[in-house]
Amino acid sequence: MHNYSVTEFILFGLTQDPEKQKAIFGVFLILYLMTLMGNFLIMVIIKMSQTLGSPMYFFLFYLSISDACFSTTTAPRLIVDALSLKKFISYNECMTQVFAAHFFGCMDIFVLILMAIDRYRAICKPLRYTNIMSQRICGILVIIAWVGSCIHSSAEIFLVLSLPFCGPNVIDHYFCDLQPLLKLACMDTYVINLLVVSNSGAIRMVSFTLLLISYIVTLYSLRNQNAEGRQKALSMCTFLFIVVVIFFGPYIFIYTCPPTTFPIDKIVSVFYTIGTPLLNPLIYTLRNAEAKNAMKKLWCGKV
């Protein structure tokens, strides 16, 4: 590991305008609280409901955990820094944020893939679905997703820890991310950037392609379903597809671009670090009849 003289970084944030920073504090505080409440509500509904025991809701439970943690890696720092004169973050805190953001971001990707596999099995292999997607198998798949996420984020943090930081320490972002940190390194980062793109970019491009193929195959197989079953499956696949597009679009834009950062990168990052974790509970509750019915039963039971 290289020796470094920089012990802390300064986060530039979304803007330096004092009036806009006040607005950012209020808006993102509300969004973050809504994200935590929405994902916590999903977890409570799934655990307490007797009707949401299918593998899809099992995976949705872990997606909600991952979303809440993913948002927590970036949103609190953005909210606090909006009212701070000096937006300092220590070297160790910065490295921890890089690891956590990539760990939970990758976990989101893997859980979305598991949910796509579940929908494919449920629609295309209905007779063998119960045996294939048993509780034991689902648990093993989630463990594999956790291990895969840890391997990915460990590789990313290893690349960052190998960088020497000996001069500029202002990160033109609202959280510690790979591309802004590469710009501050006191060395040629071309090779490391290629490794970052091949790791983060490849995972997201391959995952996005696999998800698109799985949904296309699943939707094609719906032609053999009856009208009611086709409408229900089409509705769920549509919700999942919306989540995938919103989540992967900004991700691919950030991690497959050349080693050059643009002002719009920070705005794009907001969509997948804060926007998607908020949208997931809204999509899976407000647009899902089973979840809404389970919520009503639990609410009526408590009242």
Q: How far is Cα 218 from Cα 200, in angstroms, rounded to an integer? A: 27
Mind listing the pLDDT tens digit of every residue in the chain (303 residues)?
Answer: 444 578 889 998 888 888 888 899 999 999 999 999 999 988 988 888 777 778 888 998 999 999 999 999 999 999 999 888 788 899 999 999 999 999 998 999 899 889 888 878 887 777 788 788 888 999 999 999 999 999 999 998 998 888 888 878 888 888 998 888 888 888 888 888 888 877 777 777 788 888 888 777 777 776 666 666 666 666 666 766 777 777 777 666 666 655 555 567 788 788 888 888 888 777 777 666 677 777 777 666 654
Q: How far is Cα 265 from Cα 62, in angstroms, rounded to an integer? A: 28
Domain parsing of the chain, residue ranges: 8-302
In the chain, at which residue ranges do the beta strands (DSSP E only) sit? 8-11, 88-90, 170-171
SS3 140: helix
- The residues near 151 (Cβ < 8 Å, ≥ 6 apart) are none
Q: Nearest 5 degrees, angle CA 77-CA 153-CA 15?
A: 30
DSSP state of 54: S
Specify the pTM: 0.86
End-to-end CA gap in the chain: 59
DSSP state of 162: T
208 with 248: CB under 8 angstroms?
Answer: yes
Report pLDDT for 141.
Answer: 94
At 8, give phi and psi (nearest 5°): -155, 155
DSSP state of 258: -
Q: How far is Cα 277 from Cα 168, in angstroms, rounded to an integer? A: 32
Nearest Cα neighbor of 261 from 162, 192, 193 is 193
**Beta strands 8-11 and 170-171, pairing class:** parallel
Cα four-point dihedral sign 154, 155, 156, 161: positive
CB count in 10 Å sphere of residue 151: 12
Q: How far is Cα 94 from Cα 91, in angstroms, rounded to an integer? A: 5
86: left (phi over 0), alpha (psi -120 to 50) or beta: beta
Return the axis-axis angle of helices 55-81 and 18-48, rounded to nearest 10°: 160
Q: How far is Cα 236 from Cα 285, in angstroms, rounded to an integer? A: 11
Report pLDDT for 303.
Answer: 47
Report pLDDT for 204.
Answer: 76
DSSP secondary structure, 215-234, as one string: HHHHHHHGGGS-HHHHHHHH
Strand partners, 170: 10
Q: How far is Cα 141 from Cα 11, in angstroms, rounded to an integer? A: 37
The CATH H-level superfamily of 8-302 is: Rhodopsin 7-helix transmembrane proteins (1.20.1070.10)
Cα four-point dihedral sign 233, 61, 41, 102: negative
Q: How far is Cα 114 from Cα 144, in angstroms, rounded to an integer? A: 11
SS3 172: coil
- Kind and range of the H or E run holding 86: none
